[in-house]
Amino acid sequence: MKLQYQLTIAFTTLLVIIMTVAGITIYSQMLQMLIKDEQRQLEDKGELIVNFILSQDLNSTTNVQRLLQMLEQYNLQVFAYDEGNERVIFSSIPDMDKLDEWIAEHDLTNEDQPLWQGEDDRYVVSIIPFYSPVVTQQLVLLTPLDDLQEVQRSLVNRLFIIFLIGIAVAVLLSHYLTTKLVTPLTKLRHQLKKIEKRQFDDMEEIKATGEIKEVEQSVVEMANELNSFIQSQHHFFQNASHELKTPLMTIQGYAEGIKDGIFEGQEADRGLDVMVAEINRLKKIINEIILLAKLDSEADIYQAETISIKTFLEKVMERAIPIANDQNIQVTLTKVEDKTLTFDEEKMLQAVMNIVTNAIRHARNKVELAVFTVNNELRFEVIDDGEGIDEDVIKKLFHRFVKGNSGETGLGLAIARAIVERSGGTIKAENAKNGGAKFSIIFPNYEKNND
């Protein structure tokens, strides 16, 4: 069953249960409320009658006639009882036997009376005591319960109609609301089907609000990341096959030439040297590919620990200075703040050295390193004074097998990015203001992450 129908049925069932319980509660209390209300009305009318004849003795025929006229006006069934003489003074009730039975059964001095049982009906009773100068008397007013039950049935019928209308409106409203709720989910399911079929160009924006909109945005971001990953994998395999094919063809060419006797003597030795160099280059590419794969998939390859930045940079300089001296490049530390950071020292050392050696390779005279904190960020910066980076290369510089001028395998900066991101940081490249390239490794929320 569709979610829309499930929600509509659940909401309607809940509403029916609530309205049924409310209806039963109202029905059970309604008669009592009507009885109490009728007793209050009888009491009010009785008070008017008593106040009118308060100073009169009901033993007088004239007073009785006046009282009967008032009763006819109010349409009441009453009788008056003289407590002192223990007799009924007058009555509008024709069944005197039943009246005597009521007097004998009920305490007329108690104003709170239960329902009195008649021959075919029950009566709501209100007793109004009043006092003449001579004796104490009670005025007893009665209303058949059938009249109240008729009112109850009329009210119940109206409530039932209101309940039916309310349920119908609620069903329509719940259907409308669940449609608005489920429609974005249905569209989202179609979007996921497109992602499953890799139809990323057919993705459409879903109009929604709240959590569903957040889920839709997450799905879009997931689709973009998946599309980028798939594209990068395609480029990776294409570039990898090209990078591996070139040294293999060189090795194959020299190997076949030496085997066939084409290269002899010094040419054969030179061919063997080229083969060894190409094998080393091939080995380096394969090792870097394996490292990238491990960084992407293996959790145990990364062992984080708290490292002193000052000590870490000393190790960077120990490795960088010999490489720089071979190319007559000066490597200097312009600013170092003695902080601590949590990362895998060997992996981060490899990432920073990939960036530093890249800077040395492209520098004219010098490479500057700096570590400092700004706006709660810890930043590593490597700046060279070379020609800078082409604008069309900057955006894809950290992709695999993307090489600038004089680049080697095209994997060094991709490895650096993978290690930095695994350490919780980000890496970016840009052209420095005074020329040359600037690489920045940024660790956001530095103080919070190192409490």
**Residues 335 and 398 occupy one common structural domain:** yes
- More confident of the two residues 427 and 167: 427
pLDDT at 407 over 60: no
Asked if 14 and 140 sit in the same domain, the reply is: yes
User: What pLDDT score was predicted for residue 298?
Assistant: 64
Half-sphere exposure of 163 (CA within 13 A, CB side): 17
Average pLDDT over residues 394-423: 72
Query: What is the reported pLDDT for 368?
Result: 92
Looking at the chain, the whole-number percentage of residues with pLDDT higher than 90 is 6
Instruction: Tell me whether residue 198 is in a domain.
Output: no
Q: How many domains does one find in the chain?
A: 3
pLDDT (average), residues 56-72: 66
Query: Does one domain contain both 432 and 367?
Result: yes
431: pLDDT strictly greater than 80: yes
Structural domain span for residue 268:
210-297
pLDDT of residue 303: 80
Q: Does residue 60 register a pLDDT over 80? A: no
Rounded to the nearest angstrom, the gap between the alpha carbon of residue 3 and the centroid of all alpha carbons in its chain is 19
Average pLDDT over residues 35-41: 78
Q: Based on the fold, state whether residues 291 and 313 are members of the same structural domain.
A: no
- 341 φ/ψ angles, rounded to the nearest 5 degrees: -150, 150
pLDDT at 131 over 80: no
Q: Rounded mean pLDDT of the chain?
A: 78
> What is the model's pLDDT at position 235?
65
- Angle (CA) 264 265 267, round 5°: 70
Check whether 54 has a pLDDT greater than 70: no
- Which CATH number does the domain housing residue 247 bear? 1.10.287.130
**pLDDT for res 1:** 57
pLDDT grade for 369, boundaries at 50, 70 and 90 = very high
Residues 130 and 16 in one domain: yes
Asked if 54 and 125 sit in the same domain, the reply is: yes
Per-residue confidence (pLDDT) for residue 124, from 0 to 100:
81
Ramachandran quadrant class, 132 (left: phi over 0; alpha: psi -120 to 50; beta: rest): beta
Q: Please give the model's pTM, rounded to 2 decimal places.
A: 0.48
Distance between CA 287 and CA 384 in Å, rounded?
A: 28
What confidence category does residue 381 fall into, taking pLDDT thresholds of 50, 70 and 90? very high
Residue 397 resides in a domain: yes
When pLDDT is averaged across residues 276-284 and rounded to a whole number, the result is 82
Is residue 356 domain-shared with residue 243, that is, in the same domain?
no
Domain boundary (151, 183, 200) is at 151
Question: Highest mean pLDDT: which of 4-13, 245-254, 267-276?
Answer: 267-276
Q: How far is CA 258 from CA 245, 254, 274, 277, 281, in A?
A: 20, 6, 12, 16, 21
What was the pLDDT predicted at 383?
92
On whether both 293 and 312 belong to a single domain, the answer is: no
Same domain? For 385 and 411 the reply is: yes
Buried b (16+ CB within 10 A) or exposed e, 297-325: eeeeebeeeebebeebbeebeeebeeebe
